[in-house]
Structures are given as structure tokens and as C-alpha cells.
Structure 1
Amino acid sequence: MASLCEEAIVFNRQNDHPDSLILTMKKIILLVLLGCTQLMYAQENLNFGRQKEIISPQMNTDGTVTFRLKAPNARKVEIQGDFLVSNGNMPPTQEMKLGTDSVWSYTSVVLPSELYSYSFIVDGLKIRDPNNVYLIRDVSSVVNVFLVGNGKADLYTVKDVPHGTVAKRWYQSAGLKTSRRLTVYTPPGYEASKGRYPVLYLLHGVGGDEEAWMQLGRASQILDNLIASGKARPMIVVMANGHTSNTAAPGESSKGLYKPIMMTPDVFNGDMESYFKEIIDFTEKNYRTGKEQHDRAIAGLSMGGFHSLYISANYPKTFGYVGLFSPAILPPASAVNAIYKDLDLKLEAQKKNGYDLYWIAIGKTDFLYKTVSEFRKKLDGIGLKYDYKESEGGHTWVNWRDYLSEFIPMLFK
């Protein structure tokens, strides 16, 4: 502003006329007003930027969680999440309340320690939370996630402990005539050591792929933390893609960017079970593994539990440890592969061959609870000993993370 005044004085001296001075002063006042207006506008922009910041989800000191979404033109906004109480088979939802600045909000009840997922529904359209960058793909949808600590979910967090290595490896399947991808976890210190390690083959459900246990199951965090605390023996974990019509997770293969589906044509055709030995052979050729029955475990959830049941029954003296998490039991009548035939005789042989642990777990409200109960009666009838865990809840990752956290410490004793 000083420079403007100095210019006016010079102008006045050069043009010694009252009208010239008045005209110059008017110009100065106009410039000052414009400058002040621009400064105020800039400050308003800065303040507006601060006001736009929305925290969602917000972890409150009382143990509740608040979710927020700015949607000025919405008529109805809901939140859908696995932390809400279900009223049946439909995913539970709750209406959010409209507050100031067109921000909708919902505050949960006090939530126990867990990894949760959620989405927003705006006038019937499901969307992600734009203020939460933490996302996980589940089948063909993507959900936001948040973690409530100070409890069991601390096992699912990345802690300052030695970490294992997670690799994506391709193996050649002669039976399927294609290369397929595996996710392989090697424990902390594997690269620097010369020792041999036991192997857990960990299988996903019908909606998953070779990434599911790492993403939704938090397998690497669980393994790192259990090994670091001395509760689990260091082990290699191999996660295969159970859909043999897919060579890798969506978008990670030559099939391109297709829309994933849950029930692929290969489900129950027997290919996964028939050619599983190729995965074992690849693992034992490329990694320093033990090669005795006691050095191998197989476990899986839902469809992966089904695969684990039939693979372990059809490969005698191969696995010392078997884990069935909320498993499907019987194939449909249309399944004709011999791998599914004569299950009773194969279970009898499995019992005679011996094993270290046969472990079954399921939630009380799981839709597969009845068939698992009938399967247990079959095992009781032939005298095949097993350990059984019955938990609250249903067919959910909340249970499957729990089961993995409990199963791993029991392995390779």
C-alpha cells in the first residue's frame, strides 16, 4: 500500500492540479478495497477448507465409533456393517441422521475389539466412505474397514516385531494345463537360515482367491505376532486359488479386468482336489520344507474346509493336521468326480493311517451348522477322533480369524 501512496504523490507533483489528485486518490481507495476483498476471500477459502474436513470413522473414548458422510442432496443415508445386529439373512443396516452442513452421522454402540467392515447406502446406492482410505475387496465388492484394538484384534495389527515375507509365486499345473498363482508366507528369518520348516496349506472360501486370507483374514499379521510371542512355531503358509477356472485373483491374470463371481463353473468339479499334489510338489521343490506327514497341515474355511476334508481323505499319510472352519461337507448330487466317492471308506483309512490333529470349528448360527453336526456323528460312528470348537455367530470372517488364531498354535508340536 505504501508504494501506491508514493506513486500518487509523484503523480500529483508532476500534474499539479486538484482534479488529478482527487482522481488518483479514488484509484488508490478502489485498489485498497479490491485488495482487502481478495484477502478476505482467501481467508474464507482457508476456513472453508478447514470446515470441510470430516473424520470418519472416529474412534470415541467411550468405545463407540462415529461415521460421517457429507451428502447435501440425499434424502436417506444408511450404514451397512458387520458390527450391526442382523435381523435375518439380509445384511444389517441403520439409518444415519442429518446434521449441520449436510453431514449425515451414525454412532455405534460400544464395540468389542475386532476388525469390522462397512459401506454407506445413499438413496439406495451403496458407496464407500470417501473419508476412509482403508478398503478390502470381498468377492466382487469393496468394503471399508476399521479396527477396534485393546483386545483380540491387536493380533491383527502390524506390530514392531520381526516380519515374514509374503510372495506371489506361479507354478505350472500339468493337470490344468496352465500356470497358476500362489501366495506364500515364509516366517521371519527364513531367508537367512538353512533349516527346514513345516507347511500349512491354507484355503479360502467360495468367494475368495489366493489373496483372501492375507487381506480379510489378516493371516500375515496373525502369524508374525504369534511367532514373535512364542505361541506358534515358525512355518511356511501356502495359499492357493481354489477356483481352478481362474489362474489368479481378479485383475492379476491374463483373463484381464473381468467382473468376479462367487460360484465359478469349477466349484465341485473335483479339479482342486485332484491336482492339489502339484502344489505340494512345487512347495517342497522350491522351499526348505519338512517332507513328513507331521510337517504338513491343511485347513480352510467354507469351500476351503470342503477342499481340506476331501484332499486330506484322498491323500493318505500326507497331512498330520487338518482344520475345517465352517466347512461345507457334501457335494451336490451332480458332482461325479471320483474324488468325492466312498467318503466313509476314505475316512476309515485316514483314521487307520493316523494324524496329529483333526479340528472342526463352526458358529452356532452358521447355515452349515446342521450338516457339520451330521458329519460329526459320522466321525463318531467310525471312531475318528477330532477336536471341536463351537462359537457364537455365523459364516463370517469374524469367526474365521478367530479359528486361524486358535488353530495355528496347535500345529507342529
Structure 2
Amino acid sequence: MNNKIRCLVSALFAFSMLMGCSNNSIKECDNVAGTWQLVVDIDDHSCNGLGQRFKQVFVVNQNQCQLSIDGGTTGTISQGTIAWSLPSVQMDGGTLTYSSAYSEISNKEISGAYDWQWSNGGYSCSGVVSAAGHILTEQQAANAKLGEFAMQVEHPLLEPSEGALAHTFTLEAKGARQVYLAGEMSDWRSKVFVMQPSGANRWSITLYLKPGAWQYKFVIDGAWVADQQNPQSVPDGHGGVNSVLVIGEENPLLKAQLEIAHGNFVEAEFKSDKLNQISPYAVYLPPNYQTSGIDYPVLVLLHGYGQDYKQWIVDGKIQHLMDNMIADKSIEPFIVLMPSAGTSYYQGKHESFIMQELLPHLAEQYKVESGSQYSAISGTSMGGAGAFYLAHKYPKQFGLSLPLSGYFDMEMYPSFSWQNFTLDSELVLYCGEDDSISYLSNQRLVEQLNQQGVEFSYLTAEGGHTWRYWNSISEQVLKQVSSFFAR
């Protein structure tokens, strides 16, 4: 989508389309012709962008009250305001359109903003362009270079902010030409934070980070590597590890508390006929499970692409969350099942394994309450897509589905069809607004669900496709699960 937005600006001279202020300073048909210079900021976050900034210098022509700019943009001065007109444009398989746009000029100073939208019929996203600048003097115009010039957009983590703590990342990289810091702070984009050389073979960058855990890596001339100076790490799902930095104090719900009762965490293996192999899984049993004499509801938690059941333990810290939230009585006790499914998207053999072997095995081996009203399913990324797909396909099994940043490419599921689609389970979708991987697919799914008339909830908040975001919503998710079971 970034290319679309850049074309939005350069192809149509969108730099000049400015939403008017209420204080009109232009008199009827005043002369505003000349060379305009603007700094344009593009908010394209809803279209999966990082934001862009350009300096633009262009010539505005005027004939009485009519204005024009090379490239087809026209404007009219009316009642002290310039109203601009832009045509819709076909771009990258969709249509780019604009709301009404106006300019305000006071003492040759220009300011304002306008809205745009891109849609391909099945998916749409929108954003805002804001600009500020002035009309150049004749001498400035004579020395100015016309055109569009990219400018650095300063990332907010590079500047001090309330509650954030400074941390300098350093690296020795002999012979490196370009080094970046990438991780949860950049939503795993590789070229957001440029590290600077600081002495022979040393590179560094200082970020201002909010308290909690941050996973990261270095990108050295295109190669992703963990921080060799940091012993704290977690598996990355690709055979390597991500380094982990904890700033300040981590959320106490994510840490083991010695003074409370603890549940039993069981790691086991199942010899699967469907998979024709042994598959590992884990079960969390709440405190006092053995002596309670009652049956428990079950939450099935699905991991992300290339991971296994351990992801919800190592990254999700589900055992600590469950212990601490049961202890403070913010949730009622329930069992948590965590299967392993590799890169299967929870279909095919792994779907059969979970639904036809593992869940019946759980019901036989443990004190499980029967009925869909006592069964929920959730997961992150690939696991989010799996939570949606399995809840749809097995309506009598799950009463609640909570996909977390699901990557919804429904073409991954050959048996899935929107024709006559139904969903009996309650559906609550979560996604971070800065999620560069899943946000667009969530938007597409939301539009499709609305077209199908499906009732659901869609909850978004600041955050990316990261465990930092998923950890931040886990408390809310578990409370929703507990409330559902308590009905």
C-alpha cells in the first residue's frame, strides 16, 4: 500500500489539496499564484504504512478566480477559500478517491489537511494528508528546484516520551555496510531503525521504550542475527532465537508469584494415527484440580506459524497469567489445551488430529465439562485463523472463538466457502492497529462478515504483530473466556 500512497501524492499533486481552516484570510479572487512549497505528511497506517513525509515545490497558475497546477488539478477561489478538484484514479487494482479539499492562506502561509480512500471492491482503507508551507518570494522561487523530495519521518520511539526509558542498543559488526535494529519496536519491519556507526566496527541506536519485554534482532547487510551480548532469548519459529530486553518492570501478571497457589502444567505426547507420528502438546490444570471434585471448561490455545505448543508458555506465559488471575479471582478456573501444528494452518491431518484424537483424549483423561458452552478456542496469527476456521467448521464443539491478529487467507482452507456461511459460536476478533502482517486481512474479514450478516465484535488497539501486543490483551481475553463459561 505504500506505493499507492506515494503515487497518490506525486501523480496528482496532492500536496496542494488542503482542508480549510475556519479563519478565511483570502479575499475574493486574491492573487495566490506563484511557487508553492509544502511539507506534506501522509498518515497511511490503516493501509499498513509507516507514514511518509515529502517536501514539494510546484507552480500554481491563476486566471481570475480559477487556479490550476500542472498535472490536472484545478481550483476555485470562492468566499475566501480555495476549493480544489481531483479526479478518481485507478491504481494497483483499485480506485483512489478524495473527499472535498480546500486551501487556506494567511500572509502567504498555507496549512490544512484532507482525506483519501483506496478500495478494490472487496477491501478498502483510508488515510489523511496534512500539509504546511508558504508561497515563495520571487527570489526564493528563482533558486527553488521544482518537484518532490522525500524527507525523514521521525519515529516516535526516537524521542523521549512520558513513561519511556532510554536504552542504547550496541553491536560489533566488522565490515558491515548497513545495520538496522528490528523487532517488536518496528513490528518486525527490517528498515525502520537505522543504527549509526560509533567507532571501529561498532554500531548503536538509542530508543525510548515503555516498560515491559521487547523482542528484537539486528539486521546486518540483510542478515537477521540475535544480540550475542544478550543471553535472554526465545525461539523465533524459524530455527533461531529472538533476543529479549526487559525495560523497567514487566506486568506482574506475566511473572510467577511464589505466595499464591499454582496450577499443574503437563507436557505430554500423543501417538497420532492421523499424523502417523507422535505429537507433543501441553495442558494447564488449575490449582486444586485433583481435589476439587468438579469438571472444568476448556480453552484451546493455538500457536503461530512454525511454532509449537511451547509458544504460549515461553512467549505467552499463560501458566503465570492463569495462576495469578485465578488467585486474584478475576477469572474462574478452567483447563487450557495447547496442541502443536507446525505450519499446517490447522487443516488437513493436523485438523483431524486435534478434532478427532486430541480433544476426545482430553475428555477421557481429564475432568472436562461437556458442551460447546464450556469450550472456547483462541490463537495468534496462524492460530487466529485456525480459531476462526475450526469454530466455523465444528459448531457443536466451540461456543466462543477469539482470533488474535489472525492472518486470514481463507484460500489456505480448500473446504472453506463464503457461500451459505454460518457461525454458531460467538466471535470476538482482536488486532493491533500497527500490525503490518494481519491488519489488512482482518479488515477484509470484517467486511466479508458484515456482508454475510454475521454478528461479531472487532477490537483494535495500538500494537503490532508481536507478543508485546498479545501480552497486553491476554488479561482481557482470559476474562472474556471466563465470563463466557460462567453464563
Provide the TM-score with structure 2 as the length reference. 0.58
CA shift, 1:78, in A, is 4.6
Q: What percentage of aligned pairs have identical amino acids?
A: 26
Structure having the larger proportion of residues in strand: 2
Of 322-331 and 369-378, more deviation after overlay is shown by: 369-378
In the alignment, the residues of structure 1 paired with residue 173 and residue 460 of structure 2 have an alpha-carbon distance, to the nearest angstrom, of 46
- The answer for the alignment partner of 2:371 in structure 1 is 292
Distance 1:195 1:148 in 2: 41
SS of alignment partner, residue 332 of structure 1: helix
- Does 2:483 align with 1:408? no
* Structure 1 residues without counterparts, runs of 5 or longer: 1-60, 244-263
Please state which structure has a larger fraction of its residues in helix: 1
Aligned CA distance change for structure 1 residues 402 and 103 (closer, same or farther; 3 Å)? same
Name the residue aligned to 1:234: 333
Amino acid at match of 1:159: Q
Is the CA contact (8 Å cut-off) linking 1:313 and 1:343 kept in structure 2? no
Q: Tell me how far apart the structure 2 counterparts of residues 211 and 163 of structure 1 sit (CA, whole Å).
A: 18
Query: 2:360 matched to 1:307?
Result: no
Contact 1:167 1:183 in 2 (8 A): yes
User: Quick one: which amino acid aligns to residue 362 of structure 1?
Assistant: C
Check if 1:324 corresponds to 2:426.
no
Task: Select the residue among 267, 272, 280 that pairs with 1:168.
Answer: 267
Given the superposition, is the C-alpha separation of residues 121 and 371 from structure 1 closer, same or farther in structure 2, using an over 3 Å criterion?
A: closer
- Superposed CA deviations along residues 352-372 of structure 1, whole A, max 9, x for unmatched, are xxx4x4210112243433332
Question: Residue by residue, what CA displacement relative to the aligned partner does 1:253-278 show, whole Å, maximum 9, x if unpaired?
Answer: xxxxxxxxxxx5x4575333333222
From 51, 65, 75, give the equivalent of 2:167.
65
C-alpha distance in structure 2 between counterparts of 1:165 and 1:200, whole Å? 15
SS at match of 2:293: coil
State the distance in 1 between where 2:261 and 2:180 align.
37
| 1:308-387 correspondence runs (5 A) | 308-332=387-411, 336=414, 338=415, 340=416, 342-347=417-422, 350-351=423-424, 355=425, 357-366=426-435, 367-387=437-457
**1:234 to 1:99, Cα distance in 2 relative to 1, 3 A:** farther
Query: What secondary structure does 1:129 align onto?
Result: coil
Contact persistence 1:187–1:224 (CA under 8 A): yes
Deviation of 1:301 after TM superposition, in Å, equals 1.4
| SS of residue in 2 equivalent to 1:64 | strand
Which region of structure 1 is more displaced relative to structure 2, 199-208 or 165-174?
165-174
Does the 8 A contact of 1:325 with 1:403 survive in 2? no
Q: Distance in 1 between matches of 2:400 and 2:293?
A: 24
Q: Which residue of 1 aligns with 2:280?
A: 181
Aligned length: 317
Aligned to 2:64: none
Counterpart of 2:458 in structure 1 is: 388
Indicate yes or no: 2:354 matched with 1:276: yes
| Distance of aligned partners of 1:191 and 1:382 in 2 relative to their CA distance in 1, 3 Å threshold | same
Counterpart contact for 1:198–1:296, Cα < 8 Å? yes
2:236 maps to 1:138: yes
| Structural mapping, 1:51-200, within 5 Å | 63-68=165-170, 71=172, 78=179, 80-82=181-183, 84-85=185-186, 89-90=189-190, 92-95=192-195, 98=198, 106-109=205-208, 111-120=209-218, 126-140=224-238, 141-150=240-249, 153-160=251-258, 161-200=260-299
1:15-38 Cα shifts (integer Å, max 9, x gaps): xxxxxxxxxxxxxxxxxxxxxxxx
Quickly say closer, same or farther: Cα 1:158–1:303, change in 2 above 3 A.
same
> How much has 1:138 moved relative to structure 2?
0.9
Query: Aligned runs of 1:30-49 on 2, under 5 Å?
Result: none
Shift of 1:311: 1.1
CA shift digits 1:173-205 (9 cap, x unpaired): 232233211121122222343322211100011
Indicate the RMSD between aligned Cα atoms, in angstroms.
3.1
- Measured in 1, the distance between the counterparts of 2:234 and 2:291 equals 32
1:70-99 superposed Cα distances (whole Å, 9 cap, x missing partner):
x4966679562435457x942544425546
Q: Distance in 1 between matches of 2:272 and 2:319?
A: 26
How far is 1:117 from its partner?
A: 1.3
Amino acid at match of 1:285: E
- Please tell me whether the aligned partners of residues 183 and 210 of structure 1 are also in contact (alpha carbons under 8 angstroms): yes
- Aligned position for 2:61: none
Q: 2:333 aligns to what SS in structure 1?
A: coil
CA distance in 1, matches of 2:233, 2:473: 23
Structure 1 residue 399: deviation in Å? 2.1
TM norm structure 1 = 0.67
Task: Give the secondary-structure state (helix, strand or coil) at the position aligned to 1:311.
Answer: helix
How much has 1:132 moved relative to structure 2?
A: 2.7
Q: Is the 8 A contact 1:187 1:234 kept in 2?
A: yes
Contiguous gaps of at least 5 residues in structure 2? 1-162
> Displacement, 1:229?
1.8
* Structure-2 separation of matches of 1:130 and 1:394: 25
Which has the larger Rg? Answer: 1
Which letter maps to 1:158?
A: A
Q: Distance in 2 between matches of 1:309 and 1:121?
A: 34
The worse-fitting range, judged by mean Cα deviation, of 316-325 and 369-378 is 369-378
Alpha-carbon contact 1:77-1:104 (below 8 Å) kept = no
